[in-house]
Chain A
């Protein structure tokens, strides 16, 4: 598994086209986020309030989950609880069966990626169509999204043109406007023919039972208003207490994700169509656990305050150089490195936490100021406890023993310095058996000085 990660990283860093695309996208989104935050009278206060809205739920988790469920039931929504991915998919399959669903249209939902829903639906012989433009291309290309907000940031327009030409038989074009127009036409007929629409939820409002969707294209509106059945797959941590809390998180979500004050379509759904209005006849909300309650029980519970804006990805210098696929699972970047070990319940995912320089850019960018670096550091410690090699452990035990005993430390460093100085002193080395080759492959290394600072200080103090 460790080698898989290293292998994916190696492929990614050697892909110049990928890195150029990532650099362009993340640089643009970074500056847009900063400008958008300036449009708030007090962005710091708004961020604190957004965090408090999420934190309030985490401080009374079961209470808000139950309140939210009750308000949903009041609206005639059927609520299901899914402990894991299989259970979530099973619920959705049962709903599809109950309503004789043949075709499903989906709007972008990371939760459905988590549960691998499309595969489950296709195995049950349902037709599933992703309708977010990026996700649609990903589906046609049999690929996976690589960014929370920009699923095809890793694809060039030429590649998108090829995919649409090869899979849909359309004349080749690499003009984004033309490609978008093709997708619009093709998908419009899918929306009109679909029996069921599946969406995620950006937020759920406990006070009113509302499901909030934040989008730009209009496909989520189409998915949730045209088909006769609407299913929402929603992580339990997406709940906020009240409408005013929703306002606070909305203020920072679009600003942090795309640099907009608000997304093109902010939709708030309260139940299926009422009183003869046109719209879905049935609405279901599946509340998904899938590792969230385990996360809640861990030192990293605060990560459940995440509002899925992707800002941490856009400032992460590692993400910028390796992209989303290298991380190997649904959520990439700093946020992915913390949540994936819990969602996948497998310790080896903790190695993602080492692909980080602890630069704190993610902590600074996060609209709800989740201390991701602190969590990554703790995951590293957990990872070492479970998987460290004997040599590695011994190295650090030796370091600790030496550095906590000044006499030994001075002796050891003096010996090493004297030994090294036989060969080199006060210079930079191209390579040395004493320096890891992973360092000297790319950089020279400074040799120990012939006179340490303390040597100089001691001499100087004698002179005085």
Chain B
């Protein structure tokens, strides 16, 4: 029996497109290695979360509408390599448009085929063993959107655990927020800094060479902090670690 060939649409997110394109490249390479055909709707812009979180729901809806229409042009699964963007689409879109009788059923259909990257690999492709090897010590940072927004924790951990030679360490209070929070990082920078320093102190104490997460917002913030202290610790998206292990 031949394995079904999956074709997916990649919603790469604005942070990946502009600041961390290498993450998008890793996502594509990993998916293709696993036999998935990747398409990229090039008219994508943003999920609208920055506006919603800053207290501008109407502006967020304007952006979200564009995203909903674009992604509804196909009926294939949509892969989102970001817990926060996936959470925005899957959890917030229906709430934002709850009074829009026309768009709600479209959103329902759309969210039913939206998957965060690790979720797609584990829950749809059924990956239990990546057949990959990488001798490295890393620490996994479960972002708030992954852990509590989407209830996705065993998926990324399972993928990491299946990489031979990879040592995955944990820190105490790993479930605590890193302090990014979007605009919060600027609006309440003094609190954000304390939360970041707390988190980085615990992360660097593990002696891991990299902190791995599924959210670029967290990695932009923690990465910026690590750079500031000239630390050797890298920030990596899950897809990047997997790509390195596979290829």
A binds B: yes
Q: Which residues of A contact B (CB under 8 A)?
A: 9-10, 13, 19, 27, 317-318, 321-322, 354-361, 363-364, 374, 377, 380-385, 388, 392-393, 396-397, 399-406, 409, 413, 417, 428, 430, 436, 438-439, 441-449, 451-458
B195-A317 in contact (CB<8A): yes
B40-A439 in contact (CB<8A): no
Chain A residues whose C-beta falls within 8 Å of the C-beta of B186 in the assembled complex: 436, 438-439
Q: Which residue in B18, B185, B187 is a CB contact (below 8 Å) of A452?
A: B18
Shortest beta-carbon distance, A105 to chain B, in Å? Answer: 39
Chain B, interface SS category: helix
Docked CA distance A377–B87 (Å): 15
Docked CA distance A89–B44 (Å): 59
Chain A residues whose C-beta falls within 8 Å of the C-beta of B40 in the assembled complex: 454, 457
Shortest beta-carbon distance, B236 to chain A, in Å? Answer: 14
A403-B46 in contact (CB<8A): yes
B20-A446 in contact (CB<8A): yes
A453-B12 in contact (CB<8A): yes
Can you list 27 residue pairs at the A/B interface with Cβ under 8 Å?
Answer: A9-B190, A317-B179, A318-B195, A321-B194, A354-B187, A357-B180, A359-B177, A361-B148, A364-B148, A385-B55, A392-B54, A396-B51, A396-B59, A399-B63, A403-B66, A405-B66, A441-B189, A444-B227, A449-B21, A452-B18, A452-B21, A453-B16, A453-B24, A453-B25, A454-B17, A455-B21, A456-B24
Contact with A along B122-140 (1 / 0, CB 8 A): 0000000000000000000
Docked CA distance A458–B18 (Å): 15
Docked CA distance A13–B176 (Å): 18
B17-A452 in contact (CB<8A): yes
Q: Which residue, of A361, A363, A383, A444, has the highest number of chain B Cβ atoms within 10 A?
A: A444
Chain A residues whose C-beta falls within 8 Å of the C-beta of B175 in the assembled complex: 361
Shortest beta-carbon distance, A95 to chain B, in Å? Answer: 44
B228 on the A face (CB < 8 A) = yes
What are the 3 tightest A-B residue pairs by CB atom distance, in nearest-first order? Answer: A357-B181, A443-B224, A380-B55
Shortest beta-carbon distance, A348 to chain B, in Å? Answer: 14
Docked CA distance A364–B176 (Å): 12
Chain A residues whose C-beta falls within 8 Å of the C-beta of B180 in the assembled complex: 357
Shortest beta-carbon distance, A302 to chain B, in Å? Answer: 14
Shortest beta-carbon distance, A149 to chain B, in Å? Answer: 20
Contact with A along B180-215 (1 / 0, CB 8 A): 111111111111111110000000000000000000
Docked CA distance A388–B54 (Å): 10
Chain A residues whose C-beta falls within 8 Å of the C-beta of B54 in the assembled complex: 380, 384, 392, 396
Given contacts A428-B223, A445-B224, contact A400 B63 (CB under 8 A): yes
B45-A403 in contact (CB<8A): yes
B31-71 CB contacts (< 8 Å) to partner A: 40, 42-46, 48, 50-60, 62-63, 65-66, 70
Docked CA distance A423–B175 (Å): 38
Contact with A along B1-38 (1 / 0, CB 8 A): 00000000000100011111110110010000000000
Contact with A along B85-96 (1 / 0, CB 8 A): 000000000010
A439-B185 in contact (CB<8A): yes
Chain A residues whose C-beta falls within 8 Å of the C-beta of B44 in the assembled complex: 406
B45-A409 in contact (CB<8A): yes
A396-B149 in contact (CB<8A): no
Docked CA distance A364–B144 (Å): 11
Chain A residues whose C-beta falls within 8 Å of the C-beta of B18 in the assembled complex: 413, 417, 448-449, 452
Residue of A nearest to B199 (CB): A317
Docked CA distance A182–B180 (Å): 46
Shortest beta-carbon distance, A3 to chain B, in Å? Answer: 13
B192-A400 in contact (CB<8A): no
Q: Which residue, of A9, A393, A456, has the highest number of chain B Cβ atoms within 10 A?
A: A456
Contact with A along B150-190 (1 / 0, CB 8 A): 00000000000000000000000101110111111111111
B228-A399 in contact (CB<8A): no
B224-A428 in contact (CB<8A): yes
Shortest beta-carbon distance, B58 to chain A, in Å? Answer: 8
Q: List 15 other contacts, CB 8 Å, given A360-B144, A439-B189.
A: A358-B144, A361-B148, A377-B52, A381-B55, A397-B59, A400-B62, A401-B62, A404-B45, A406-B42, A409-B45, A428-B227, A442-B228, A443-B225, A445-B224, A458-B42
Chain A residues whose C-beta falls within 8 Å of the C-beta of B95 in the assembled complex: 374
Docked CA distance A458–B40 (Å): 10
Docked CA distance A374–B92 (Å): 10
B237 on the A face (CB < 8 A) = no
Residue of B nearest to A362 (CB): B148
Residue of B nearest to A428 (CB): B227
Docked CA distance A383–B53 (Å): 12
A357-B63 in contact (CB<8A): no
